[in-house]
């Protein structure tokens, strides 16, 4: 079969090196970072499809593929994919979320050809007949029972997004509704595969002790003949501003009341995302944070407080979780948390708090780049969500320059709006923690 040669597009500074992006004639993006710090290679394949691309009645398809892709292909029996990698000393896995799905391998550097062969095979020749689909549907249904329906946090998180979002596809869970999972057909899967698992909807990221020319040659040979697909334009309604406070209650086998709060927040690429991430660190980042000191250490109202800002392509949520101590009314814990939120709306955070939050975020970011796998994941994530594989370093520069005044302004734009609260109440069952 004929192959298409790669065209160089751009180089992006990335730490001490540079990520080079190429594109094959069928649209496949190939991003390479040569990193000779260890004799390994990390091979990632990121697809621009997540639960946001599904339709009502067909939720969970993106996640189902995370399972189907480890099954049978036209030239490999079920289980052969994993066996070949394990025999080569490789590790592999996959993940799906709202905006993306990715598959990855970490291998000794002399096994790069195996990753290229296996990944190109399952991108083009996956088997999607009734036995394969029914088998993985059952696995996913059991996963949903375990991680959502029988799990307090999973059920509450699902209800939080279902309540906070009414128009945007972030309304439904990535794992999908159970009735949708049970109803998938091989035809549903084949249509989804033909549409989204195409080279022009994917980026291959290779990081490690490799030669760039060798990587390109192998990828051109394996992927070049895979045809591109017609990727449909997204058709969804943006989430309108939330104008009402939303409170729902959920009874679960838990020993104490819990709160799951969500304020509509900025998209990953918005200017407010960095200052709000710093604010989350000041409020919830460790034992020295404001919420921990006020609710856990001081008044002893809660056993756990957490918060984070979602990293979605479209506006997501600034989430906050509180686990009240047994016997404490969650309304009392909520009042204490609201006091801390009101305080940061009124007063500037201190220089020490801001410096500590910046240092913690920078340390976490740099630690995530310690390995080839960490670099590949970071490159793939920012390439897929923002179209900029080196955006992590731009965010690092922005983090260093945020002022207390900018942080407060971002806070007022987000945390003074209407919010959604899921209140989890013990159901009185014997299974309480």
Question: Nearest 5°: CA angle at 43, between 42 and 47?
Answer: 135
Residue in this structure with the two tokens 């918005």, named with its chain if needed: 270
66 is catalytic: yes
Residue of 9, 10, 66, 182 with catalytic role: 66
In a 13 Å sphere around the CA of 422, the CA atoms on its Cβ side amount to: 22
Determine how many CB atoms are found less than 10 A away from the CB of residue 355. Answer: 10
Helix, strand or coil, per DSSP, at residue 323: strand
Q: Which two tokens stand for residue 27?
A: 């649209």
Q: Which two tokens stand for residue 406?
A: 């900018």
Residue 37's region, left for phi above 0, alpha for psi from -120 to 50, else beta, is alpha
Helix, strand or coil, per DSSP, at residue 375: helix
Per the document, the length of the chain is: 433
- 168, containing H or E segment: none
Q: Which two tokens stand for residue 137?
A: 């549907």
Question: Nearest 5°: CA angle at 294, between 288 and 297?
Answer: 70
Residue in this structure with the two tokens 């896995």, named with its chain if needed: 93
Alpha-carbon distance of 267 to 410, in angstroms, equals: 13
Alpha-carbon distance of 175 to 219, in angstroms, equals: 31
Alpha-carbon distance of 400 to 389, in angstroms, equals: 20
Helix, strand or coil, per DSSP, at residue 40: strand
Q: Is 428 exposed, middle or buried (0-12, 13-18, 19+ CB in 10 A)?
A: exposed
Alpha-carbon distance of 45 to 199, in angstroms, equals: 10
Name the residues annotated as catalytic: 66
């Amino acid at each position: 079969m004929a192959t298409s040669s790669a065209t160089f597009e751009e180089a992006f500074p990335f730490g001490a090196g540079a990520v080079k992006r190429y594109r094959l004639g069928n649209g496949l993006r190939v991003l390479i970072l040569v990193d000779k710090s260890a004799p390994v290679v990390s091979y990632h394949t990121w697809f621009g499809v997540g639960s946001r691309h599904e339709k009502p009645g067909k939720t969970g398809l993106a996640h189902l593929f995370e399972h189907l892709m480890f099954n049978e292909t036209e030239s490999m029996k079920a289980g052969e994919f994993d066996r070949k990698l394990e025999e080569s000393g490789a590790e592999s896995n996959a993940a799906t979320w709202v905006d993306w799905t990715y598959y990855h391998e970490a291998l000794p550097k002399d096994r790069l050809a195996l990753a290229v062969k296996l990944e190109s095979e399952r991108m083009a020749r996956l088997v999607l007949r009734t036995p394969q689909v029914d088998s993985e549907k059952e696995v996913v249904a059991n996963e949903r029972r375990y991680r959502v329906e029988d799990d307090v946090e999973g059920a509450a998180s699902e209800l939080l997004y279902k309540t906070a979002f009414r128009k945007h596809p972030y309304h439904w869970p990535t794992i999908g509704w159970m009735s949708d999972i049970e109803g998938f057909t091989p035809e549903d899967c084949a249509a989804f595969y033909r549409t989204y698992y195409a080279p022009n909807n994917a980026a291959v990221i290779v990081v490690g002790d490799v030669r760039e020319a060798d990587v390109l040659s192998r990828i051109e040979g394996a992927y070049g003949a895979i045809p591109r697909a017609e990727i449909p334009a997204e058709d969804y309604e943006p989430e309108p501003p939330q104008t009402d406070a939303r409170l729902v209650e959920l009874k679960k086998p838990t020993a104490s009341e819990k709160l799951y709060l969500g304020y509509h927040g900025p998209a990953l690429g918005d200017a407010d995302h960095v200052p709000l991430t710093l604010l989350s660190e000041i409020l919830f980042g460790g034992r020295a944070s404001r919420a921990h000191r006020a609710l856990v250490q001081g008044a002893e109202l809660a056993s756990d407080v957490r918060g984070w800002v979602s990293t979605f392509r479209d506006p997501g949520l600034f989430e906050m979780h509180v686990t009240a101590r047994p016997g404490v009314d969650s309304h009392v814990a909520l009042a204490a948390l609201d006091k801390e939120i009101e305080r940061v709306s009124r007063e500037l955070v201190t220089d020490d708090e801001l410096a500590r939050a910046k240092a913690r975020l920078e340390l976490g970011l740099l630690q995530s780049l310690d390995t080839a796998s960490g670099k590949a994941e970071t490159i793939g994530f920012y390439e897929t969500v923002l179209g900029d594989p080196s955006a992590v370093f731009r965010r690092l520069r922005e983090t260093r320059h945020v002022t207390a005044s900018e942080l407060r302004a971002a806070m007022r734009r987000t945390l003074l709006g209407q919010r959604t609260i899921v209140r989890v109440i013990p159901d009185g069952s014997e299974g309480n923690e």
